Amino acid sequence: MNDATQVVAALRKFGAEATSIEAKRAETALPKSVLETLSSFSNTPGGGTIILGLDEGGNFTAVGVREPTKIMADFASWARDDMVPPLVPEIDFAEVDGQTLVIADIPELPRNQKPCYVKSRGLDRGAFIRVGDDDRRLTAEEVHQLVADRGQPTFDHEPVLEATIDDLDTAEVTRYTSRLRAGTNARIFADEADAVILRMTKVIARGSDGADHPTLAGLLALGRYPQQFFPQLDVTFVSYPTITGVRDAAGLRFLDNASIDGPIPVMVEEALRVVQRNMKKRALIVGAGRRDTWEYPPEALREAVVNALVHRDLTPGSRGTQVQIEMYPDRLRIMNPGGLFGAVDVEHLGDEGTSSARNGSLLKMLEDVQIPGEDRTVCENRGSGIRTMLAALREAGMSPPRFKDGTTSFEVTLPNHTLLDEETFTWLQLLGRDGLTDAQCVGLALMRHGETMTNARYRAATGIADSNRATKELQDLVARELIDQTGLKRGASYTLSNSATSVREGGKRPRPNRRRQILRLLEVHGELSKSEVSDLLDLTSKTAEHWLRTLKNEGHIESTAPGRGRRDNRYRLTPLGLQTPLFEDDEPTSSPTS
């Protein structure tokens, strides 16, 4: 069973395409809709995969392509010649149900090259993005946003002509300039007057009228009341009684709600206070003991709120949208206008050395502005905010946040559950932890709570930095039949297998005893190759390899030709294997016949 077969099986099982997979008939020629999908996958986080030769309307029946080499060449030509910028997808053949399919992997473009569009339709009508399983045309505002993000935005240090120097908080300005004079860059600022420092750091700037005015960043960092000029540059908070946000049975619409104004340092402090008054404490299992922890770690909350306020889009078209915080019984969601900026994508958020700032002047100012009541500044500007958030959640035994990058918006959702609660801890013990890493146990716990795992999400949840190591650990769980894989390469996702899902307290693992099955097969057949074991037991190649390696390491089987290549390896029982009683650690299963 190969990866393509598994993907097609998943499409048939769920009866619909995934966000990252598009199936198309292409028996004799490419359909024109391929161009729209090329654009949408190139503009969508994570990219996607196009499978040619499947009938979407016929439950993804494999109809194949008659001239796969020609279809492949045409596809590469369309991607190169009909798209702006030109695309270079990875294209390959695969065989499913005796039919040849063409599979193309379309990577996401770097942000400074978006949007990708169909050349013949132009930028305004030819740019698409993936929404669910459809290709949706980007709106004019979304196209404008992507084009604007190709360079460094300067909206944050534009002078606000309606404002004057008196609209800055005098005490905060004094603290700010004093900190700069005494800080790391004292050699630059030590002998400068306040007005000079404010101008050098873009807190104020000369307007078209020739006078000095606070900049937008200056008002947001050091202003007395920025909302006097920009009413919607604030934070709203709502706590809902139900997970859907509708009224509860008693007709209650909100448990709490607030509109938070002021400069960013004040909004951060007040937002954290409002969220915390709506939180509860819960128990966390730590080794043999337990400790109480907040539903959402304060450090993770702080970083999420700061990021939303500092990295929000400040273009004129987005100044009518607030930063929104929504609390539900099962999650906390923080939304801000403006998607990710620069050379950053959702998959690599939190990776060391990955950082980009839309509002560079604002971020730089907030390195030297303190949050009221705290002995630290609003921002470090070291690209460590997401890593701090992930580490705080891991320490609290919680799953990582979900990041959703829209073209004109960004969301962070924190699930309201603790991974290592008593029930999950018991489940892991019943599942069997022999040979599993701590990271694999965290991944399994996440999937038990309903998460769909990807390489990026696994790394975020476990703190593993190496993508290859994450893939290796996930593939090991697939081989152990604890999780199932759907999708290819970057589009691969993982969920709990049926056997892992059905483990119950007091029961045994319902997984078939693969040791017993393979030993019985070798008793019957004498010798078998890995592919023969895979076919006889209907296992993936990875699973068959895992159990053959396990039995070989245990000394129960041996290779018949140790010096030959892996493809030629065949396996037989050792004297120990012939003498060892059948294992009794799993539910008994019927023996396969020859």
Higher pLDDT: 590 or 567? It is: 567
C-alpha to C-alpha distance for 337 and 402, rounded to whole angstroms: 17
Predicted confidence (pLDDT) per residue in 201-218, tens digit: 999 999 999 999 999 999
Count other C-beta atoms under 10 Å from residue 453's C-beta.
22
pLDDT band at 384 (very low <50, low <70, confident <90, very high): confident
Point out which residues pair with 50 in neighbouring strands.
22, 104
Domain segments of the chain as ranges: 3-148, 152-278+294-396, 422-501, 514-579
User: Does pLDDT of 193 surpass 70?
Assistant: yes
Point out which residues pair with 405 in neighbouring strands.
410
C-alpha to C-alpha distance for 42 and 358, rounded to whole angstroms: 22
Predicted confidence (pLDDT) per residue in 544-564, tens digit: 888 888 888 888 888 887 655
Domain 152-278+294-396 grouped into CATH 3.30.565.60: yes
pLDDT band at 272 (very low <50, low <70, confident <90, very high): very high
Mean pLDDT of 368-396: 83
Predicted confidence (pLDDT) per residue in 427-485, tens digit: 887 877 667 888 888 889 888 888 889 888 888 888 788 888 998 899 888 888 888 88
Mean pLDDT of 161-190: 95
Mean pLDDT of 71-83: 95
Dihedral pair phi/psi, residue 29, rounded to 5°: -155, 160
- Would you give the DSSP letter of residue 352? T
Dihedral pair phi/psi, residue 106, rounded to 5°: -105, 105
User: Does pLDDT of 223 surpass 80?
Assistant: yes
Tell me the angle at which helices 541-553 and 530-537 cross, rounded to the nearest 10 degrees: 120
- 533: helix, coil or strand? helix
User: Does pLDDT of 591 surpass 60?
Assistant: no
Residue 426, both tokens: 């018991």
Protein fold of 514-579: Arc Repressor Mutant, subunit A (1.10.10)
Per-residue pLDDT, 247: 84
C-alpha to C-alpha distance for 570 and 414, rounded to whole angstroms: 49
Kindly provide the residue ranges of all beta strands, DSSP E only, lying in 475-545, ordered along the sequence.
483-486, 493-496, 528-529
User: Does pLDDT of 236 surpass 90?
Assistant: yes
Per-residue pLDDT, 510: 54
User: Does pLDDT of 77 surpass 70?
Assistant: yes
Superfamily (CATH) of domain 3-148: Schlafen, AAA domain (3.30.950.30)
Q: Residue 417: which of 443, 399, 393 has the closest Cα?
A: 399
Mean pLDDT of 152-168: 94
Contact 354, 267 (CB under 8 A): no
Point out which residues pair with 493 in neighbouring strands.
486
Count other C-beta atoms under 10 Å from residue 573's C-beta.
19
C-alpha to C-alpha distance for 293 and 419, rounded to whole angstroms: 12
Mean pLDDT of 150-177: 93
pLDDT band at 6 (very low <50, low <70, confident <90, very high): confident
Q: What whole-number percentage of the chain has pLDDT above 70?
A: 88
Count other C-beta atoms under 10 Å from residue 3's C-beta.
16
Residue 222 sits at the vertex; the CA angle it makes with 218 and 228, to the nearest 5 degrees, is 80
Contacts for 135 with CB less than 8 Å, ≥ 6 apart = 22, 33, 36, 37, 39, 40, 128, 129
C-alpha to C-alpha distance for 543 and 476, rounded to whole angstroms: 8
Per-residue pLDDT, 125: 93
Per-residue pLDDT, 583: 45
* Three-state SS letters, 173-240: HHHHHHHHHHCCCHHHHCCCCHHHHHHHCCCEEECCCCCEEEEHHHHHHHECCHHHCCCCCCEEEEEC
pLDDT band at 30 (very low <50, low <70, confident <90, very high): very high
Contact 20, 49 (CB under 8 A): yes
Predicted confidence (pLDDT) per residue in 510-535, tens digit: 566 787 888 888 887 888 888 888 88
Per-residue pLDDT, 220: 98
Residue range 422-501 forms a domain whose CATH class is mainly alpha
Tell me the angle at which helices 541-553 and 467-479 cross, rounded to the nearest 10 degrees: 80
Residue 133, both tokens: 């399983």
Per-residue pLDDT, 282: 64
- Would you give the DSSP letter of residue 433? -
Residue 342, both tokens: 């620069």
In one-letter notation, the amino acid at residue 189 is F
Per-residue pLDDT, 174: 96
C-alpha to C-alpha distance for 366 and 369, rounded to whole angstroms: 5
For 578, half-sphere exposure in the C-beta direction (CA atoms, 13 angstrom radius) is: 7
C-alpha to C-alpha distance for 58 and 12, rounded to whole angstroms: 9
Per-residue pLDDT, 41: 94
User: Does pLDDT of 115 surpass 90?
Assistant: yes
Mean pLDDT of 131-145: 86
Contact 565, 492 (CB under 8 A): no
Query: Per mean pLDDT, which range of 79-93, 133-147, 480-494 is the poorest?
Result: 480-494
- 418: helix, coil or strand? strand
Can the peptide bond before residue 110 be classed as cis, meaning omega within 30 degrees of 0? no
Residue 264, both tokens: 């960013």
C-alpha to C-alpha distance for 243 and 329, rounded to whole angstroms: 6
Query: Per mean pLDDT, which range of 14-18, 409-413, 500-504 is the poorest?
Result: 14-18
Residue 377, both tokens: 């500044």
C-alpha to C-alpha distance for 75 and 80, rounded to whole angstroms: 9
C-alpha to C-alpha distance for 122 and 129, rounded to whole angstroms: 15
Q: Residue 453: which of 400, 391, 510, 390 has the closest Cα?
A: 400
Report the chain's C-alpha Rg in angstroms.
Answer: 29
Q: What whole-number percentage of the chain has pLDDT above 90?
A: 39
Dihedral pair phi/psi, residue 334, rounded to 5°: -120, 125
Contact 483, 495 (CB under 8 A): yes
Higher pLDDT: 552 or 294? It is: 552
Predicted confidence (pLDDT) per residue in 351-381, tens digit: 765 667 889 999 999 999 998 888 889 987 6
Mean pLDDT score across all residues of the chain: 84
Contact 167, 228 (CB under 8 A): yes
Higher pLDDT: 7 or 284? It is: 7
Per-residue pLDDT, 39: 96
Point out which residues pair with 295 in neighbouring strands.
none
Per-residue pLDDT, 584: 44
Contact 79, 88 (CB under 8 A): yes
Say yes or no: do domains 422-501 and 514-579 share a fold. Answer: yes
